[in-house]
Structure 1
Amino acid sequence: MSSKKLIYLPLGGAGEVGMNCYVYGYGAEDQERLIVVDLGVTFPDMDSTPGVDLILPDIQWLEERRDRIEAIFITHAHEDHVGAVGHLFERLGAPVYARAFTAHIARGKLAEYGLSDKTVKTVSAWPETVNAGPFTVGFLPVSHSIPETSALVIDTPDGRVVHTGDFKLDPTPIVGEPWNPDAWAEVAKPGVKALICDSTNVFSPDPGRSESDIADNLEALISEAQGMVVATTFASNVARLKTLADAGHRAGRSICLMGRAMRRMIEASVTTGVLADFPTVVSPEEAAQIPRENVMLLVTGSQGERRAASAQLAQGKYNGMRLKEGDLFLFSSKTIPGNERGVIRIINQFSEMGVDVIDDQGGRYHVSGHANRPDLTTMHKLMKPQIVVPMHGEHRHLREHARLAQTNGAQSIVAVNGTMVSLSGNAPQIAGYVETGRTYLDGSVQIGALDGIVRDRIRMALNGHVVVSVVLDENDEPLGEPWCELKGLPEIGRSNAPLVDVLESDLDQFVGRAGDKTRGDDDKLEEGIKRIVRKTCLDEIGKKAEVTVIISRLEA
């Protein structure tokens, strides 16, 4: 019996939606040759990750084995699948393979960091394949909400694995290749050892709908609007942008794109030939000269992002454009859980202006890019895999998808981030666990989620901050009173005296009464000062402030 095994290891995207990063390996234990599928990001929020710009997968396990990585394969160009390529490539060093549109986006990510775009290799669709150590990998087209989305057909010494990536069963997707069950059935003919499958919409009971289903609804809505029409969706949802632009054009409106990410995505689509007939667009300056009832803006910010075009318009003005009473704003998108607060804030700001806001209204103006429960069953029965491993979903999605797969006759297992699964036997087996976490892009620096930086930032936001300065002479005697600087704290406490005065008085008494051992030991003195500050703050304002102590000593 061979000691070599086929392993699957998610480092992101399993137990969450976003930050996709999956590893496949084949070989003897701790000697496996590896391939990586997707390097994505997820996005921070002010509650749990204040000040953070992006969240990346923790790739330390991979980095320690970079000499065993054969290649990186990117399934499609959504940020949660390709967004970390520029940030993490130097730590992995393996060539990147993708289809033309995705490769174009990936090269742009590398260029932002001054990295050579020659490391990205363009691959044609299946049946063309790439040899990567013990793996042979092909890109199998599938419909989604962005051009040239592909599943991966991964042939290994232990059988064929199909990694679906994000997908839906859409025969008329407007942009991108339609769902082709015959091509998938052909791939399934030799037998599928394991299907690693999207789980996002496993709880949606009705079959998924086509992108073309909403075109008439959008055109009717836009045609009936009296003022300016503004629509937002994901900048990367090229199919929806095309649907919206076509509907606006047919309604007699000039189309204006607002938001750098949206313009870049359309430009990339045209450059790579996946979008040939997008309506002519006008600049914001030109749009400002056209009667409002003849203009339609397509803007970024469907998830309430504070710096995107939607939020800027809601605050009053963006690129010279303002919304007025009687204008129409459409969210042609689904709000990702966790983003509701930002979206509602924008809706209310527009409401105060007299702007009519419309959301997706149960699917009239939006269809998902992911397979619903009946579509997953269709995929299971078409591919007839021995094993189904759910991915791309929160834990509840993975667990429900595993149940569905078992109902459809396959072996299944729930494998969240860090769970190494052996796919070599007749049933999936847990082969070990890897420590996984998150890496934060904080400004221009990558920091670990457990480094304490964001934790301290949250504590300061919740509790305020006091800086205490103490000066001691060469005999450890205080020179004057300690003084305090306050940030994020009320000026007046319960005693109706200035909080800074109460703190300085209490600290003066403490330092004056402290023994020689305490004043002569920085650690003991700092500990005592922090204790006094927190107690005084609790008494005066009901909060234990964060404290920084600066001790200065004069030398003899």
Structure 2
Amino acid sequence: MDEAEDGFIFVPLGGTGEIGMNLNLYGCDGAWLAVDCGMGFSGPETPETEIILPDPGFIAQQREDLLGLVITHAHEDHIGGIARLWPQLRCPVYATPFAAAVIRRKLQETGLQREVPLHVIPPGGAFELGPFKLRYIRMTHSTPEAQALAITTAHGTVLHTGDWKFDAAPVIGEVSDEAALRALGDAGVLAIVSDSTNAMVEGHSGSELDVKKSFESFLPDLTGRVAITCFASNVARVASIIAAAEIAGRHIALVGRSLNNYITAAQEAGYLQDVPDFVPEEEIGGIPEDHLLLLVTGSQGEPRSAMARIAADTHRYAVLGDGDKAIFSSRTIPGNERAIFAVQDQLARRGVQVIVDGDEFVHVSGHPAREELRKLYKLVRPRYVIPTHGEWRHLSTQAALAQEAGIKTLLVEDGDVVLFTGNGPAVVDSVPTGRLAVDGQRVVPLKGGVLAARKRMLFNGVVVGSFAIDAKGLLHGLPRISAPGLLDELDGAQRLAFEREFQELLQDLAPALRQDEAAFADAARAGLRRIVGKPLGKRPLVDVHILRI
């Protein structure tokens, strides 16, 4: 890092080369700025956890030089890590009114609302943090107040786009500020650090107004109960669905805590002011089937989401059955396919008609397709484009598109240190990166001992041996072996044989070893692992419980 200490640098810690977990750093002359702090969903490769976070360890070690965390917009992949990671960062947070309202609720849930300095910046506002002159530029996205961030230092200007699109009729929120983008380009821009999610999609991402019109067209013809799931943070989509439900004569019930939180935050920021009263969950059963619309969380198949519980028929109030409709009004985040299909299959088994984009026009992306990227390049005219926010195929595709427009590009991944010089940006170093897992109220390393043990238990099971010894280390009674899911099918004689073999092993241990509890436990675990491992053909996690009498 020595080479970059006195310059202007960019360091992605999450969200570059992957979808979600956006965490980016900008450094200038020894000072640091963080942009976004998001979460991601676990995939099939990490079944031991549900939510993953970027590891902020690199910047946490120098947090005294971290001037602030600036938020571009209120989607979970950009703000979902704040409440859990802020204790490592301990810096002021800057956000627009809507994003601040959402963040405030997340901080309240973790008891941090009085600790975190949360500063509200108006959309399009400007502010300074040390050597960084910052300006928000209003952009259209699927949630209100999405902002690109112009970062100007003595070394030049970088435009960090956040998530964005060009949409002349966004339903909720402002259109992208093309005049501000053009003016920024006139002043000169070193590089655009750019959203790549839809770089493989030719044409235009589409308008939210068209989705609204589509819902208003087909929803009145549907019979039975209708449940629609979308991202809770997609306030524009929520507004479109509410408008269509009113035309269809359906009462709306919000099912899922995050929907209530986002809608309340939107109303605090001045949006969704004229929506009808929502039906409380406990009163859903009193609404006639043809007059009920459930707005539901769980578009990505999250196991504990409302839609997953409805599909499994375990939700306390919401029910779907034969002849009802379930509409998935969202895109599938890569890695979530299996979970989503499992929920949809459960619904179909219950006789529910599952409707996805393509069956009806129920979704447009909030990210720029290729024509919109080309338009941004023409407005801003950067010297370089650095693709972020996407997997490698998205990044490389945007790089090729920028090169077609005559713009130089630099492909990077999480941990790369990019130095902006007179000759353009270059990767000059790398820093450690990683992933953390949310484990209840804790944040633990994804590759650490806690989750490694849980993953081992998941695939190989767990075996626990319990036995009693006296002060001299002598065994009393027959040990017991429990192994849920491993020994359940053994008959009594087979289980007894295991326990007698374990008893003999413990009795054969040297007396001196039995006086040292830690050594005794280690030897007992090793023996129990040998006794059960070979017959089961597995390597289960083994532990012992010693009762001293």
- Work out whether the TM-score is over 0.5: yes
Of 523, 536, 543, which residue of structure 1 is paired with 2:538?
A: 543
Of 114, 117, 132, which residue of structure 2 is paired with 1:116?
A: 114
Query: CA contact under 8 A between 2:190 and 2:424: conserved in structure 1?
Result: no
Cα 1:69/1:46, change in 2 over 3 Å = same
Cα 1:395/1:362, change in 2 over 3 Å = farther
Q: Distance in 2 between matches of 1:523 and 1:317?
A: 44
Q: Provide the alpha-carbon RMSD of the alignment.
A: 2.7
Say whether 1:375 aligns with 2:372: yes
The number of residue pairs the alignment matches comes to 546
Query: Partner residue of 2:71?
Result: 74
Cα 1:317/1:93, change in 2 over 3 Å = closer
Task: Give runs of aligned pairs for residues 91-490 of structure 1, distance below 5 A.
Answer: 91-112=88-109, 113-116=111-114, 119-126=117-124, 128-284=125-281, 287-316=284-313, 318=315, 320-361=317-358, 364-469=361-466, 482-490=479-487
Q: Distance in 2 between matches of 1:316 and 1:412?
A: 50
Query: Partner residue of 2:38?
Result: 40
Give the 3-state SS of the residue equivalent to 2:322 in structure 1: coil
Q: Give 1:539 shift.
A: 3.6
Q: Distance in 1 between matches of 2:195 and 2:264?
A: 28
Cα 1:115/1:216, change in 2 over 3 Å = closer
Query: CA contact under 8 A between 2:15 and 2:414: conserved in structure 1?
Result: yes
Give the 3-state SS of the residue equivalent to 2:37 in structure 1: coil
Cα 1:265/1:492, change in 2 over 3 Å = closer
Give the 3-state SS of the residue equivalent to 1:170 in structure 2: coil
Q: Give 1:141 shift.
A: 0.5
Cα 1:300/1:470, change in 2 over 3 Å = closer
Cα 1:5/1:293, change in 2 over 3 Å = same
Amino acid at match of 1:91: Q
Cα 1:480/1:352, change in 2 over 3 Å = closer
Query: CA contact under 8 A between 1:402 and 1:412: conserved in structure 2?
Result: yes
Query: Partner residue of 1:55?
Result: 52
Query: CA contact under 8 A between 1:440 and 1:449: conserved in structure 2?
Result: yes
Q: Give 1:482 shift.
A: 4.5
Give the 3-state SS of the residue equivalent to 1:276 in structure 2: coil
Query: Partner residue of 1:504?
Result: 499
TM-score (norm 2): 0.91
Q: Give 1:319 shift.
A: 5.4
Q: Distance in 1 between matches of 2:224 and 2:34?
A: 49
Q: Give 1:184 shift.
A: 1.4
Identity %: 36
Query: CA contact under 8 A between 2:90 and 2:116: conserved in structure 1?
Result: no
Q: Give 1:89 shift.
A: 2.4
Say whether 1:19 aligns with 2:21: yes
Cα 1:549/1:187, change in 2 over 3 Å = same
Q: Distance in 2 between matches of 1:513 and 1:255?
A: 69
Q: Distance in 1 between matches of 2:308 and 2:470?
A: 55
Cα 1:117/1:470, change in 2 over 3 Å = closer
Give the 3-state SS of the residue equivalent to 1:393 in structure 2: coil
Say whether 1:6 aligns with 2:8: yes
Q: Give 1:508 shift.
A: 3.6
Cα 1:512/1:209, change in 2 over 3 Å = same
CA-to-aligned-CA distance 1:33-81 (integer Å, 9 cap, x gap): 011101111233576142x463222112212111111111100011111
Give the 3-state SS of the residue equivalent to 2:433 in structure 1: coil
Q: Give 1:530 shift.
A: 4.2
Q: Unmatched 5+ residue regions in structure 1?
A: none
Q: Which moved more, 1:479-488 or 1:5-14?
A: 479-488
Q: Which moved more, 1:421-430 or 1:75-84?
A: 421-430
Give the 3-state SS of the residue equivalent to 2:483 in structure 1: strand
Cα 1:171/1:223, change in 2 over 3 Å = same
Query: CA contact under 8 A between 1:419 and 1:430: conserved in structure 2?
Result: yes
Q: Which moved more, 1:222-231 or 1:275-284?
A: 275-284
Give the 3-state SS of the residue equivalent to 2:424 in structure 1: coil
Q: Give 1:22 shift.
A: 0.5
Query: CA contact under 8 A between 1:100 and 1:123: conserved in structure 2?
Result: yes
Amino acid at match of 1:504: E
Amino acid at match of 2:452: R
Query: CA contact under 8 A between 1:22 and 1:38: conserved in structure 2?
Result: yes
Q: Distance in 2 between matches of 1:538 and 1:2?
A: 53
Q: Distance in 1 between matches of 2:312 and 2:361?
A: 27
Cα 1:107/1:284, change in 2 over 3 Å = closer
